Structure formats: structure tokens, C-alpha cells
Chains A and B, each alone.
Chain A
Amino acid sequence: MNLIIFPVILYLFSAFFIALALKENEKLSGIACFSFSILSFISVILIGKYLILNERIIYFVGGWKIPIGITLMVDNLSFIFLFILNLLLPLICWFSFSYMEKYLKAGYFYILFSLISAGLNGILISMDFFNIYVFLEISSIASYILVSFGLRIEELEASLKYTILGVIGSAFILIGIGLILGKTGTLNIADFTFIAKNIEKKQLWFILGLFIAGFGFKCALFPFHFWLPDAHSLAPSPVSAILSGIFIKITGFYLLIRIVSNIFIMFPESKVILIGLGLVSMIYGAIMAIEQNDIKRIYAYSSISQMGYCVLSLGIGGYWGYLGAILHFIFHSLSKSLLFLNSGIIEYKYGTTKIEKLNNLVEEMPYISTTGFIGMLSLAGVPPFGCFWSKIIIIIGAIMSHYYGISFICVIVSIITLGYFLKLQRNIFYSKSEGVKTGENNEFNLNLLMPVIILSIFIFLSGIIFSPYYKIWIDKAVKNIESFSYESLMEK
């Protein structure tokens, strides 16, 4: 099944090819990057087609068997992440055509875009600790650079902060990998879980702690969140859409799922830590979002809050908890990317995202206000849209596991979310107060508009036609989280 490795190879080749031949020509490099991302999307669809009949794909790089070589694996859980990632990337690339026109040497942007995509795809298909670390580093370094792409002072500083914290997080992860190597002599996840069965628990808790801290840095859980608001709000908007929409979920959340529920199965206590961290960052993000005065900063704090929901739901566990975590990941990815792209259009047209400078945009940008409205309603959890279903499932999960207080807090935070989004919506789109910005630049830029509209249609449909089409996949993924253990791969 050679197809599994195609997304990574395609994106790597795209990066090298653009760097070699096209980087001086912005348009051509954009088109090349877009076509490679479409190819990658097609290969992911084909992987999905294969997964209908088979439970998982296992691939031995170089033909070396499990403990020796690097083994790749895609199962239904990683397929859902792969699908969302490769669905968003072409759209964001398309959006960048017009948005990146303003930047000097935008050819480099597409190189870095390809690199970050290659890194994220590589994390998702891998089944080897060190391989995951290497691809994590590729995508992280590319994201540090992308944050500072505009070379404004604030961007440089945000990038510096992000780099420092990211390096500390990576160091934790690397030390954890080293301890795994020292304890068991292997780097393969399946081999490790097979051996770890016979190791005493007290030998392993430190590794788990290091991993939770490291991936906590990556997905901005509460004590490790300092970098996120600056980095996500100051980066160019397509970059914010990648970072907030998908990057923190794959580098943080996906790997946390794997670590907590598939690899370190012997530690049910870790779930309690996740509930605590998730709860605190959920509340913290929501409260901080209220008092911000910049659109993108509100979205960034909202990201912290919504990641809190995901991690909380992962910690609650059980069928409903895992279902809620996966669904919330999907809907939050789509909606948050949509919102960041939306704010990117506003930034493109008006040059600012400060709330007090923007007024009554609904007359000048009817499309944008509609799509933004859809995204915000979805994130705030208003009934027909996606996040309503995921939030209600998380609440059900909390009640089923007898965490009544937590379900109550979830409802409260959801109301706060609705509050600050409605306030934002009213302030920038509908308020007719003084200082209305009357540029007549209501131009109809398809490159900017189409990705946003496509995304909002996705969100609308995925919310309304809830179950029948993709419920099978999500059920399979939930089953993967609940009962899959890597050691079953070792018996063959």
C-alpha cells in the first residue's frame, strides 16, 4: 500500500521543487503548491477508499520489519485527522493566492506552507516515536518562520516567544523518547507497548508526565499557553488558519489521544490530569476572550478555550466522551479556519483587525458577514450547526460519567462563548456608531471569497445532515480510541 506515504512525499517534493525553480515567481509557485495539495487530497481519498474494507494500513519503510525499520500506520482515527488536514490545506492555499500578494517574495511562503503540511502529514501516518519527533520539528520550525513572515516588530517578537516555548516543549518530548529508548531499547510504538506490559508502572510515570507537558506546550493547555494568543493573532491570516485550525490539534491533541489512550493504557489516572487541564484552559480562554479588542486575538483565545473542550472530553472518556472529542475537533477545525480566513479578508481590505476601527461592515461585505456569522454561530454552539452537536455530546458524556459539575461548567462556558461572539459580530458588522469606515472597495475577489464560502457550506451541511454520512467513520475512530492497542500489531 504505497499510497500511504504519498501525502508526505508530494508535499516535500513540492517544497524542494518550488525552492529550486519557481520561488521567484509568486503566481507559479502558488499554483504548483495548490496542485500538489490537490494531488495529496486525492491520495488521501484513495486511502479512505482502502480503509472502507480494511481496518488499518501498515507500511514498512524500506521493507524492514517492526523493531528494525520505521513503520507507518493509518487507521480510522488518523484518517479523520488526515482528511480534515488535507481538506483544509488546498482551501487555505487557494486563499493565499490573493492574500499573499501584499508580501514580498511570497514564493517562500509556499515553500514553508508545503513544509508545514509535509510535517503534519508525516506525524499522522507515523508509528515511530522518533519519526514523530522529527516531523514535529519540521512543522514546528516552519511555523516559527511563518509567524514572522510579515517581519513586523510584533510578529518577530511573537515568533521569538513561540520559538522559545516550542523548543522547551520539544526538549521535553525528546527526553521522553530517550527514556523510552533507555527502558525498552526500542522506538517503535507497537514494540514499546508490547514490552511495557511487563514493566512496572512506577518505571513509566515520568515518561508520561514529560509527554503530557511537551504536548501540552504544543496544544497550549493552560499553564503552557503564553505563546498562543500572540503567535496566532499576529501571523498572516492563512498561517493563523493553519496554526489554529489544524496545527495545534495534530501536534498536541492527536498525539495526546495516542499517548493517553493507546500507548500508556496502564495509567487511567492521566485522564484526571487531562480533565483538570482542559477545564482550566476552557474557562481561562473564554474569560480572556471577553476583554480583547482585536478580532484575531479573540479567535486565538477562543482556540485555547475550545482546545480545553477537546482535552476535557478526551479526559472524560467513554463512548460519548471520545465521540465528543473527535466531533469537536472536526467542527472546531472547520469553523476556526473559516473565521481566521474571514478576518484575513477584513484585514486585506481594511488593513486592520482592531474592533474599534471597524464598523457596519455588513453593507460593504455581505458575503463575509454571512460566512462569519455561520462560523461564529457554529463555534458558539447554536443548534443547527456543528459545534452544537459536539458540545451537547460532551455534556452528555460528562453526565454519563457522573461529572455533573463539569457538564454545568461546559454549559456556562458555552454561553460565555456565545456572548463574546455575538458582541464581536454586532460591533464589527452591524453597529452603526460613529467612525464608520467607508471605503468603497467592495470588490468581488474570487480567490479570497471562494474558499470561505466553500468552508461555510461544509460547516452548514455537516451540522444539518448530522449523522448518516460520516457517523460510520467517527464510530470506527471512537472504537480505535477505546479499544485499539498497539500491541495487537506485534502478534503477526
Chain B
Amino acid sequence: MNKGMSEIVKTICRIVSPFILIFGISIVIYGHLTPGGGFPGGVVIASAFVINLLAYGREKVLLKLSLNKSDILHDIGAILFLLVALTGFIEGIFFLNIFDKGKLFSLWSGGNLIFSNIAIGLKVGTSLFLGITLLSMARIFYKKDKIEYFEKEEDIK
């Protein structure tokens, strides 16, 4: 099996991609203290998976994060963010920040910002991964005359 790119690229990708993932997660979690937040972090997380996709081909990546799973995760991310917004209704106003604000410069500060960041990071990361994977898979499937993406995944398992 000689799928994907050359051995050098694969090795570098193997070394780098965990760091990118951790970097993305830290951008998400520390979004209210340092530059970053849900969106940049989510995009970085997506790119950690996408470089694996480019280096190894899709089969290996889809074993780690399957399309079905990322499909469900990005819906859950969206609903979670809506729920964070809806917590404001506990005190009567949509989007009211009802959590304890904490202390400036500590991880727990800004009330619900950290929850929103995590929800958005989850949503953006998984949905971009999903979109790019689908777009890159479409080409392969058209050649084999097999377009539906969910079908293909069962072949891998």
C-alpha cells in the first residue's frame, strides 16, 4: 500500500500533527485570555486532521475521526452553543452571562466565554474537517462511479 505522499512528508506529519492539535485546543481554551478563541482554534484543529488527510490519504484519518462521527459532533457543537446562549433564560434574558465572572487573567474568567469557545471550537473544527473531506472524496468516488459518501465508509471498517 503506497497511498498518500512520500515517506518524509508522512514522518513529519506524524510528528507535527499532535502538536497542531494541542495548539488548536489550547487556542480554544485560552481564547478569552490570549489571541484566539473558538473560531481560530477550531480551524487549527480542523487543519491538524486535514494535513493527515493529505499525507496519508483518507482511510487512515477516517479510522480516527469517521465522517458519521464528525457529522454528529458538528451538530452537537451547534446545539451546545445554542444551549449556552439559552442558559441566560434562567435569569430571564437571552444570552445573559449568568456564570460567576471569576478573576481577571485566570482560566476561569469571563463566565460562559469558555463554554462558548469550546462549543464553537468543536463545531468549526468538525464541520470544516467534514466539508474538506467530502470535497476531496467526491473526486475519488466519481471515478469509481460511487458517489454517496456514507456508503464508502462502511467499506473501510
Contact = CB atoms under 8 A, between A and B. Distances in A.
- The answer to whether A and B touch directly, with their CB atoms under 8 angstroms apart, is yes
Interface of A: 2, 5, 9, 12-13, 16-17, 19-20, 59-63
A311 to B, nearest CB: 34
B93 A60 contact: yes
A107 to B, nearest CB: 12
Interface stretch (B1-9, B30-38, B53-61, B74-82): B74-82
Contact of B82 (A13, A19, A59): A13
A5 B94 contact: yes
A19 B127 CA distance: 13
Contacts of B75: 16, 19-20
Interface stretch (B11-19, B40-48, B84-92, B133-141): B84-92
B96 interface: yes
Contact of B88 (A17, A19, A62): A62
B72 interface: yes
A62 B84 CA distance: 12
Contacts, number: 35
Contact of A62 (B72, B82, B94): B94
Contacts of A13: 79, 82
Given A20-B79, A63-B96, 10 more contacts: A5-B94, A13-B79, A16-B75, A16-B78, A16-B79, A20-B75, A59-B94, A61-B93, A61-B95, A62-B97
Contact of B79 (A5, A17, A61): A17
Contacts of B94: 2, 5, 9, 59, 61-62
A3 to B, nearest CB: 11
Contacts of A60: 93
A20 B92 CA distance: 28
Q: Which 3 A-B pairs have the closest CB atoms?
A: A20-B75, A62-B95, A19-B75
Nearest to A20: B75
A400 to B, nearest CB: 44
B82 A9 contact: yes
- Main DSSP-derived SS at the B contact region: helix
Contacts of A20: 72, 75-76, 79
Nearest to B77: A16
A155 B72 CA distance: 29
Interface in B62-115: 72, 75-76, 78-79, 82, 86, 88-89, 92-97
A472 to B, nearest CB: 30
Nearest to B86: A9
A419 to B, nearest CB: 47
23 contacts: A2-B89, A2-B92, A2-B93, A9-B82, A9-B86, A12-B82, A13-B79, A13-B82, A16-B79, A17-B79, A19-B75, A19-B78, A20-B72, A20-B75, A20-B79, A59-B94, A61-B93, A61-B94, A61-B95, A62-B88, A62-B93, A62-B95, A62-B96
A19 B70 CA distance: 12
Contacts of B88: 62
Contacts of A19: 75, 78
A59 B89 CA distance: 13
A400 B20 CA distance: 69
Nearest to B89: A2
Contacts of B82: 9, 12-13, 16
A467 to B, nearest CB: 38
B124 to A, nearest CB: 15
A9 B86 CA distance: 9
A471 to B, nearest CB: 34
B71 to A, nearest CB: 8
A19 B82 CA distance: 14
A61 B92 CA distance: 11
B14 to A, nearest CB: 33
A232 to B, nearest CB: 28
Contacts of A17: 79
A62 B94 CA distance: 6
A76 B92 CA distance: 25
B32 to A, nearest CB: 16
A269 to B, nearest CB: 39
A5 B95 CA distance: 11
A63 B72 contact: no
A13 B94 CA distance: 14
B128 to A, nearest CB: 15
Contacts of B97: 62
A60 B96 CA distance: 10
A2 B94 CA distance: 7
A9 B85 CA distance: 10
A12 B79 CA distance: 9
A20 B79 CA distance: 9
Contacts of B86: 9
Nearest to A59: B94
A4 to B, nearest CB: 9
B93 to A, nearest CB: 5
Contacts of A9: 82, 86, 94
Nearest to B80: A16
B97 to A, nearest CB: 7
A63 B97 CA distance: 9
